Amino acid sequence: MKNTKPNLITRYGSLFMLGALLLFMGSCNLLEVENPNSLTVDDVSLPSSAEGLKNGQLNALMSGMGWTFAATTTISDEIYWTGSYESYKTYSEGLVGFDANEILVAGYPEISQARYMSDFAIEKLEEFDANDELSDRSILVKSYIYGALTRIVIADSYDNFVFSNGTETSPAIGEDQMSSVYDQAISFLDSALPIAQSLNNNELQAQVLGLRARAKHAKGVWNKLNPKGSIPANPLVSGTGAISDAEDALALMSQDYKAIIDYNAANITNYMAGQVNSRGEITLTAPFNDIITGDTDPRAEAIINDFNDTQTYTENYSPFTWLSAREMHLIIAEELVGTDDITARNEINAVRSLDGLPDMQPGDDFVEFIEHERRANLLLQGRRLNDMYRFGSTSPDWLQNEDAITTPGTLLPIPRNEQLANPDL
């Protein structure tokens, strides 16, 4: 039977997508810059394509994150609308679920492409590895990390999603099944860890363990918010299994370790940075005050200043932090509240001491401190919107009749263009 809906090959066709990605594969990985030769579609079955596959996967992720964070961060209180683009205005006002928002429509294919390329790269690299044709197994570890991070970004940001395979369409995952995307991320990291250990590579082990802790904790946040529509009575996450991974990651990290996506070195445009620093459509929040001192919080101020540093990054290449020792401490602290408050407090104070801030004291409210410390230390890292929902915080720009207020937990929908193009929806 002839399908009257547009053929997905116009946006997600295997040859089109793969060819486009392979044209710009050689830019970087998360912590270093490399420039392998460009590949053709015929090359990807060869073991010599391994580095290019991994780098192309990362480049797609970098683009997808820039678009996705531009949407979710504007909905949160980290960024607000200041330009003329109505799509940002509606996000800033808390209209999250509108499926024809132009930023959503344009950004969904970017993060979808990242997911497709992750699966493609991992499949090929696993094949090379199984055949003893992968000369550097760290490439496979990094590919697992990028694939996991892609899925975490999707699960953190979308109410529903479609994992199509090239020209083959698929049904939506389903809103009630989106936590399974975190499970897929964890599975990638489970596969990555023994390889990283066999390589005796401490940094890769730290990244795998830290990202797995983040995925487990984020799934706990998801469970607090779903079914969506209410603020949980207890917003704190516990019992996810993240503590062990976070502790093991910290043992391998420097005191203030951060893993950065470096758009500047890679020469990959960060869409959100361009909208902030070049076009002025959206503007970062002003630094807010520390919970104890009442003075400007130095952690938030440093992140804001760095993102706005056009002298270093120009207008379009500001970085994102995707993993940090600070987040590991905060995950441990949150999951220990109620069972080991002394250690939980010590973990929070370990983070505060990095910037010379006074300690949290016995009797201080853990909920208030954990929300504040996550807000200050994880600014612009894609965490804030879900934290606002679970802690019951609101943006001053949200309108009372929009779904950010009426239906807490609402995330980005599958966009209308995907609905029209996909016969399985």
Distance CA 200, CA 203 (A): 9
Q: Is residue 262 part of a domain?
A: yes
Instruction: Give the range of the structural domain holding residue 401, as residue numbers without chain letter.
Output: 9-421
Looking at residue 4, its pLDDT comes to 31
Looking at residue 93, its pLDDT comes to 98
User: Which H or E run contains 146?
Assistant: helix 138-157
Q: How many residues does the chain have?
A: 425
Q: Is residue 410 part of a domain?
A: yes
CB 138 within 8 A of CB 49: no
Sequence-ordered strand ranges (E) for 252-312: 258-261, 282-284
What is this structure's pTM?
0.92
Q: Is residue 4 part of a domain?
A: no
At residue 349, the 3 state secondary structure works out as: helix
Could you give the number of structural domains in the chain?
Answer: 1
Residue 321 pairs in a beta bridge with 260
Q: Is residue 3 part of a domain?
A: no
Whether the predicted pLDDT of 10 surpasses 60: no
pLDDT in tens, 110-136: 999 999 999 999 999 999 999 999 999
CATH number of the domain where residue 177 is located: 1.25.40.390
What lies within 8 Å, CB to CB, of 235 at 6+ separation is: 224, 367, 371, 390, 391, 392
pLDDT in tens, 77-92: 999 999 999 999 999 9
Whether the predicted pLDDT of 8 surpasses 50: no
Q: Is residue 1 part of a domain?
A: no
CB 152 within 8 A of CB 210: no
Q: Is residue 26 part of a domain?
A: yes
User: Which H or E run contains 81?
Assistant: strand 79-81
**Quick one: CA torsion of 152, 154, 160, 165, rounded to 10 degrees?**
-110
